[in-house]
Amino acid sequence: MVQTTEKSYYEVLGVGEKATTDEIKKSFKKLARKHHPDAGGDEAVFKEISEAYEVLSDKEKRKEYDTMLRYGAFTAAGGAGAAGMPYNWGGQGGSWTVTDRGGDGGYSSIGDIFSRMAAGEGAFGTDWDFGGSKRKTKGQDVQVTLEVTFEEAFKGAEKRVTVKSSDGGKQTIDVKVPKGAVEGGKLRYKGKGTAGSNGGANGDLLIVTSIKPHRIYSRSGANVLMDLPLSIDEAALGSTITIPTPDGSKVNLKVPAGTQEGKVFLIKDKGAKRVGGKAGSSEFGDLKVKATIVIPRQLNDAQKEALSAFGKASDTDTRKGWHDE
């Protein structure tokens, strides 16, 4: 293997080049839990390990990738070849040679080759010959946005989606939206995308969830957020408020006297189910309740009198320090 400035897929997953399929899978799961965006991980790192697993977990893709490493298809310059171009096999008894693909949408770096491998197109794309036969090409993935309600995302749901089939017609897919589905979450259906060519596999169907706004709740990953409107007296004197939670239950929340605008109360494990959460974390997120003080726009005579008496009885300088020299 020729040393490169970029990590090999084996290095990304932290395994040796002789690692078994089970070892690769085990390492991927461990890293995925650690770096999953929903668990606070780095999305770029998660994408990198997912791409590595996509290649190394597939027997044919891994074989091709190992061949590239064995023949030194990656150079110390960190690109594909000295000129940053792809290598082609010169035929029986031949050798790896650089082919200039110029401006035809060809390769510019090792990343291009990796991306094509992960997409199932082969290390060198879809338009090269080996032994006189055309390379099998995987079909394109199809991405569809599925709009769901807050409740459907929170509790899970089954939805029926009609999309264009690989033969140009229409196909109906029964989509199972998981509990705790997040905004932008993706569900992959293998082989439901466009048809491949030259006997290649079909692409995949990606269902992307989009959550409709709710009148009370909003989401931040597995956590659910809500505002708690409080009257002046409830905030100043303290009170007990019955909070409706997303799962349909109710919780009595004690609001202490002197509660200020923006104070956040945490109700543990009353958020959404975590999707792909890291090991050891709670199965559910939390419900975060933010206090908002409601100032009445109009006052009746009794309210005006009470507030006036309150002001006269107060000995606190609200703007203390403004006029100090």
- Supply the DSSP string of 15-42, one letter for each residue: --TT--HHHHHHHHHHHHHHH-GGGT--
Q: What are phi and psi of 32, to 5 degrees?
A: -65, -40
The structural domain count of the chain equals 3
Do 246 and 203 sit in the same domain of this protein? no
Q: Is residue 317, in this structure, part of any structural domain at all?
A: no
> DSSP label at 320?
T
Predicted pLDDT of residue 94: 34
Q: Is residue 95, in this structure, part of any structural domain at all?
A: yes
- Supply the DSSP string of 87-154, one letter for each residue: EEE-STT--EEE---TTSS---SHHHHHHHHHTTS-TT-SS-EETTEEPPBPPPPEEEEEEE-HHHHH
Q: Is residue 185, in this structure, part of any structural domain at all?
A: yes
Name the β-bridge partners of 133. Answer: 130
Name the β-bridge partners of 41. Answer: none
**Could you give the C-alpha distances from 85 to 34, 64, 75, 103, 112, in angstroms and in order?**
34, 18, 11, 12, 10
State the chain's mean pLDDT as an integer: 79
Predicted pLDDT of residue 282: 81
Name the β-bridge partners of 217. Answer: 226
**Residue located via tokens 């009148």:** 215
Average pLDDT over residues 175-195: 90
Do 21 and 73 sit in the same domain of this protein? yes
Which is it for the CA torsion 259, 262, 268, 270, positive or negative?
Answer: positive
**Residue located via tokens 């291009």:** 112
Do 230 and 266 sit in the same domain of this protein? yes
Query: In this predicted model, which residue has the larger pLDDT, 120 or 147?
Result: 147
Look up residue 154 and give its two tokens.
């929170």
| 21-35 helix and 43-56 helix, angle to the nearest 10 degrees | 170
Do 87 and 179 sit in the same domain of this protein? no
How far is it, in rounded angstroms, from Cα 214 to Cα 217?
A: 5
How far is it, in rounded angstroms, from Cα 79 to Cα 111?
A: 8
pLDDT at 74 over 80: no
How far is it, in rounded angstroms, from Cα 15 to Cα 62?
A: 14
Q: Return the CATH number at 249.
A: 2.60.260.20
Grouping H, G, I as helix, E, B as strand and the rest as coil, residue 71 is coil
Torsion of CA 20, 22, 24, 30, to 10 degrees: -150
Q: Could you tell me which residues come within 8 angstroms of residue 95 by beta carbon, excluding any fewer than 6 positions away?
A: 89
pLDDT in tens, 153-175: 999 999 998 887 767 788 888 99
Do 130 and 146 sit in the same domain of this protein? no
Predicted pLDDT of residue 67: 79
Q: Is residue 98, in this structure, part of any structural domain at all?
A: yes
pLDDT in tens, 25-35: 999 989 988 88
Q: Which domain holds residue 246?
A: 217-312
Which is it for the CA torsion 67, 69, 71, 75, positive or negative?
Answer: positive
Of 134, 152, 182, the residue at which a domain comes to its end is 134
- For the ranges 18-27, 41-50, 82-91, 223-232, the one whose mean pLDDT is highest: 223-232
From 217, 310, 314, 222, select the one nearest 269 (Cα to Cα).
222
Q: For a pLDDT cut of 90, what percent of the chain falls above it?
A: 44
Query: In this predicted model, which residue has the larger pLDDT, 184 or 37?
Result: 184
- Supply the DSSP string of 41-77, one letter for each residue: --HHHHHHHHHHHHHHTSHHHHHHHHHHHHTT-S-TT
> DSSP label at 270?
-
Of 211, 243, 272, the residue at which a domain comes to its end is 211
pLDDT in tens, 271-290: 999 987 665 568 899 999 99
Of 211, 241, 260, the residue at which a domain comes to its end is 211
Q: Is residue 324, in this structure, part of any structural domain at all?
A: no
From 200, 278, 318, 315, select the one nearest 30 (Cα to Cα).
278
* Cβ neighbourhood burial of 256 (10 Å; 0-12, 13-18, 19+): exposed
Query: In this predicted model, which residue has the larger pLDDT, 310 or 316?
Result: 310
How far is it, in rounded angstroms, from Cα 125 to Cα 117?
A: 8
